[in-house]
A and B are shown apart, each in its own frame.
Chain A
């Protein structure tokens, strides 16, 4: 199946710094990418939806100035956690939907996830 890769898989940063997480679709073009956040023993919570070349759509309660999302190309989306604080520590997962014909409606391809720890 299609491959989505995230980098870095682990990151530790100091409080107040910014961290960028990359999400790449390796063998297909992703018109839409999604960013989820997963807390321990909880479900994935959708943070935002990004479409290539346009602004991301954020879910209610997600601070757009805190979590900057850029989807500059059909194979790359980035999530930047700005001025990170310990409560931002979490597992961030991206997923991608291909162009029409790549995967059934609603089928997503997921990255491995990025664990952020803010000290």
Chain B
């Protein structure tokens, strides 16, 4: 079935540093891909998505490109802020398309 693997954390960066969080997937076909974010004390919220190969999702300065050649959907941001400190989850639908499968989450900690 479908699965997703994302890099282990935690990731610790200084403000304005460049961020990359790796995510690779295994799937039948080309499902939509998602990044969710969980800020401290809050529920998960959708950060960005891409619905087909070569699409680039973007939001709040974050970007991720759906690359079918490398089966990857890496999350990037050019200049992180302290407020970006959170847990980031890569996700894709299960094979039946009935629910989302999540990666283990990567904790990002940004210091000023």
**Are the chains A and B members of one assembly?**
yes
Query: What separation, in Å, do the CA atoms of A107 and B92 have in the docked complex?
Result: 10
B5 to chain A, nearest CB (A): 10
A43:B98 contact, CB within 8 angstroms: no
A-B contacts at CB below 8 angstroms, number:
59
A93:B34 contact, CB within 8 angstroms: no
B103 to chain A, nearest CB (A): 6
Query: What separation, in Å, do the CA atoms of A34 and B93 have in the docked complex?
Result: 13
Query: What separation, in Å, do the CA atoms of A93 and B34 have in the docked complex?
Result: 18
What band does the interface of chain A fall in when counting residues whose beta carbon is under 8 Å from B? 20 to 34
A22 to chain B, nearest CB (A): 14
Please tell me the number of chain B residues within 8 Å of chain A, measured between CB atoms: 25
Tell me if B51 counts as interface (CB < 8 A to partner A).
Answer: yes
A106:B42 contact, CB within 8 angstroms: no
Query: What separation, in Å, do the CA atoms of A103 and B76 have in the docked complex?
Result: 24
B56 to chain A, nearest CB (A): 16
B46:A107 contact, CB within 8 angstroms: yes
Contact pattern, A 82-114, Cβ under 8 Å of B = 1, otherwise 0: 000000000001010000000011111011110
Q: Which of B36, B42, B99, B104 contacts A46 (CB 8 A)?
A: B99
A104:B49 contact, CB within 8 angstroms: yes
Query: What separation, in Å, do the CA atoms of A59 and B89 have in the docked complex?
Result: 21
Query: What separation, in Å, do the CA atoms of A88 and B92 have in the docked complex?
Result: 27
Tell me if B17 counts as interface (CB < 8 A to partner A).
Answer: no
Inter-chain pairs besides A34-B100, A49-B98, A112-B41, 9 sampled, C-beta below 8 Å: A34-B99, A41-B104, A43-B102, A95-B100, A106-B97, A106-B100, A108-B100, A112-B42, A113-B43
Q: List A residues at the B interface (Cβ < 8 Å).
A: 1, 4, 6, 32, 34, 36, 41-44, 46, 49, 93, 95, 104-108, 110-113
Q: List B residues at the A interface (Cβ < 8 Å).
A: 31-32, 34, 36, 41-46, 49, 51, 89, 92-94, 97-105
A-B contact pairs, 10 of them (CB 8 A): A1-B46, A41-B104, A41-B105, A43-B105, A44-B44, A46-B94, A46-B99, A106-B100, A111-B43, A112-B41
